[in-house]
Structure 1
Amino acid sequence: MIRRRSHPAASLSARRTEAFTDGVFAIAATLLVLGLTDQSLGSPTTDEQLADALVGLAHPVFSFVISFLILCVMWMTHVRQFEWIVRIDDAGMWINNGRLLLIVLVPFTSSLDTTSNDLLLGRVLLPVNFFLAIVMGWLQWVWAVRSGAITDLSADDARRLGRASISAVILSGAAMALSPLIGSIGFLLFALDGPLTRLLRGGDAPISSPATTSRDDEASDGGVGGRG
């Protein structure tokens, strides 16, 4: 039996957008490893030579790991957002598409960070990429709140989660500002994300939901935007 849509004709169910976004994140995270496979270990003939060659991959491995972890954090933000976003219009889809455009660029800018870290552009493009992608994620929550795409969440809690999302914007902006000097090492600032998120959200007070208690617990545990 065909179910009738209960939302306005100008908007669509967010489930297909959510699934598409999941797939893009998964592909981008998988492609990151190509930056490692492109690295040459030379032709080691002893365990010592192989160990030395692997040590020489310290920066490429760091770039891969930090990029993968930040992508995971951003995906977690996407998951938490779409626990509340139930419908999406053209504007919301294009904001999401803009974020995904930046997400699929991450393997490329990560490889530049690996191969051209001695150049200014090689150091800064990955932090710039992540900063813009995180800003797009924050804008998506702002759109969702203002367009009425969220259900079962009070206006006060929606604003609190919006404030919490600024945490990742601040940290990624700081990492970008430091990147000309230290490159992707600035991403270690994300270790401060948890405390800063709680501070901006207003402590660990639970997120109240008028209809769905289980979602309250999940939101209060991490916050929608506090992870990017």
Structure 2
Amino acid sequence: MAEHASRSRTDGRFPPERFKAFVDAVVAIAMTLLILPLMEAVSEAASDTLTTVEFFSEHSSQLLSFGLSFVLIATFWMGHHRQYRDVEWITTPLLWINVAWMATIVWLPVPTAMVGQMDTDLLQPVVYIGTLIATQTTTLAGGVYLLRHPELGTTTPETLRAGIIGDLAAIILFLIALALAVFVPTVGYAGTLVLLLSGVFSRLLGRITRRRG
């Protein structure tokens, strides 16, 4: 412990325990915020004496946007956990990369509420899917930084490169989903289902990278 404290004072690095705990807290709060519009909707439904069936029918878009965003935040958190599992030191630049990552996570409940409660327009999918792209981009930035600074942890370069390829694949698929939502409005947010191809696309990008290497 004394060695960790001494080293953090001399070279600007610090242990990751508080950093990881803070990230977990931010993610938990963001996931909790997703449910608040639905709680308000339940109160309004009770005031309007709606039945349970009528509630689920009238608020189906809210329920779907909640479920989608909840799963996406959980997926982002699990990816973040894997990325920083073997990180032993945090630097100021890496901290700011993660501050940006957390900002996108905290912001996601806002476009989620927009999707569930507002009429769809062309800007709405840009805001929602654009937020997902920003989250994935900051994840990519963290992976690239860790790859360039192997002294910060024990994660192998091969594992970091695989993560970076996965991030690139996800960003490309998010861009495809955004293009579908904007230029083929009937598809809507169902375009995000292309993310189911992320594993296949990651392997394809990995093969292309190895061949060029």
TM-score range, shorter chain: 0.7 to 0.9
Structure 1 gaps of 5+ residues are 203-228
- Kindly provide the amino acid, as one letter, of the partner of residue 184 in structure 1: Y
Q: CA RMSD in A?
A: 2.2
Q: 1:51 to 1:137 in 2, by over 3 A?
A: same
Q: Deviations over 1:163-183 (max 9, x none)?
A: 222222122222222222243
Q: 1:149 to 1:115 in 2, by over 3 A?
A: farther
Q: 1:9 to 1:120 in 2, by over 3 A?
A: same
Tell me the distance in 1 between the aligned counterparts of 2:98 and 2:151: 14
Q: Secondary structure at the match of 1:13?
A: coil
Q: 1:35 to 1:192 in 2, by over 3 A?
A: farther
Which protein has the bigger helix share? 2
Q: How do residues 1-228 of structure 1 correspond to structure 2 at under 5 angstroms?
A: 2-5=1-4, 9-39=11-41, 40-41=44-45, 43-44=48-49, 49-180=51-182, 181=185, 182-201=187-206
CA shift for structure 1 position 93: 0.5
CA shift for structure 1 position 79: 0.5
Q: Deviations over 1:185-224 (max 9, x none)?
A: 222222222333344445xxxxxxxxxxxxxxxxxxxxxx
Q: Is the 1:66–1:187 Cα contact (8 Å) retained in structure 2?
A: no
Q: Secondary structure at the match of 2:108?
A: helix
Number of aligned positions between the proteins: 198
Tell me the distance in 1 between the aligned counterparts of 2:90 and 2:38: 37
Q: 1:150 to 1:4 in 2, by over 3 A?
A: closer
TM-score normalised according to structure 1 size: 0.78
TM-score normalised according to structure 2 size: 0.83
Tell me the distance in 2 between the aligned counterparts of 1:118 and 1:159: 38
CA shift for structure 1 position 85: 1.9
CA shift for structure 1 position 78: 0.7
- Kindly provide the amino acid, as one letter, of the partner of residue 196 in structure 1: F
Tell me the distance in 2 between the aligned counterparts of 1:91 and 1:158: 18
Tell me the distance in 2 between the aligned counterparts of 1:151 and 1:113: 40
Q: Is the 1:13–1:88 Cα contact (8 Å) retained in structure 2?
A: yes
Q: Is the 1:127–1:179 Cα contact (8 Å) retained in structure 2?
A: no
Q: 1:87 to 1:117 in 2, by over 3 A?
A: farther
CA shift for structure 1 position 52: 2.9
Which structure has more relative contact order (CA 8 Å, sep 6+)? It is 1
Q: Secondary structure at the match of 2:158?
A: helix
CA shift for structure 1 position 149: 4.7
Structure 2 gaps of 5+ residues are 208-213
